[in-house]
């Protein structure tokens, strides 16, 4: 099953893979914030990291199957999710 051309995500030269990498980097940047945040904010950052992972996974699935390493951004976002979960207090 292929995704038709008009349903693929591409906006002004930004492919889904590039957006996935940016979301993964944003999720990694939230790890040090959890050390200085309160308990409630740390939990919200953890939830936000989960949402970013799910969006990155969706963008990875929207990439063409011929794209090399199309799930690498989702892997990075998952590592960021695990890191954010471990520093949640």
> How far is CA 77 from its chain centroid?
4
pLDDT at 25 over 90: yes
Domain with 19 in it: 12-86
Tally of domains in the chain: 1
Domain-located, residue 3:
no
Condensed to tens digits (0 to 9), the pLDDT of residues 32-44 reads 998 888 888 988 9
Taking residues 13-17, report their average pLDDT.
Answer: 75
Compute the distance between CA of residue 44 and CA of residue 52 in angstroms, rounded to an integer.
12
34: which residues sit within 8 A by CB, 6+ positions away?
42, 45, 46, 84, 87, 88, 89
Q: Give me the percent of the chain exceeding a pLDDT of 90.
A: 48
Q: Cα Rg for the chain, rounded, in angstroms?
A: 15
| Residue 28, in any domain of the structure | yes
Q: Does residue 81 lie within any of the structural domains?
A: yes
Asked if residue 6 is part of any domain, the answer here is: no
pLDDT in tens, 54-77: 999 998 988 888 888 989 999 999
Does the predicted TM-score (pTM) go above 0.75? Answer: yes
């Amino acid at each position: 099953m292929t995704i038709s051309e008009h349903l693929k995500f591409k906006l002004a030269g930004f492919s889904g893979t590039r957006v996935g990498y940016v979301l993964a980097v944003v999720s990694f940047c939230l790890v040090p914030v959890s050390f200085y945040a309160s308990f409630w904010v740390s939990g919200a950052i953890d939830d936000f990291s989960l949402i970013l992972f799910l969006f990155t996974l969706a963008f990875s699935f929207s990439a063409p199957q011929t794209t090399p390493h199309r799930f690498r951004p989702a892997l990075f976002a998952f590592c960021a999710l695990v890191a954010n979960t471990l520093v949640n207090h």
